[in-house]
Amino acid sequence: MSTPPRGEPLSRIGSVLPMRGGGGADLTDLLSDLLVDGLQEEWQARLQGLQGWICELLIKDQQLRMALMEMKARGPGDDNGRNP
C-alpha cells in the first residue's frame, strides 16, 4: 500500500487507498470522519487556550485601570506618600 507524499492534501486520501470490493469508500469515509474529529478536537483545545489568555488579559487590564484610577485620585505631587 502506498502512502500520500508529504504535503499532499488529505482530500486525496481516497485515491491513495486501494479499493477492495467497494469497501474502500467506507474506509475513506471512516478516515475522513476521524480526521475531522481530530481537527475539531485540536481547534477546540486551541479555542479554550485562547479564551484563557483573553480572560487573563481582561483581568490584567482591569487591574491596571484600577491602579491608574488610584494614581489619578491621589493627585499631583503625591508620589506614593513620598513628598519631595
In a domain, 5, yes or no: no
In a domain, 80, yes or no: no
pLDDT, tens only, 20-78? 455 567 878 877 887 888 888 898 999 999 999 999 999 999 999 999 999 999 987 66
In a domain, 58, yes or no: yes
Q: How many structural domains does the chain have?
A: 1
CB atoms under 10 Å from CB of 27, counted, come to 15
Burial (0-12, 13-18, 19+ Cβ within 10 Å), 53: exposed
State whether residue 60 is helix, strand or coil: helix
User: Can you say whether the dihedral through the CA atoms of 44, 48, 50, 51 is positive or negative?
Assistant: positive
User: Can you say whether the dihedral through the CA atoms of 13, 18, 22, 27 is positive or negative?
Assistant: negative
In a domain, 70, yes or no: yes
pTM, two decimals, is: 0.49
Q: Which residues pair with 82 in a beta bridge?
A: 79
Residue 50 structural domain: 10-74
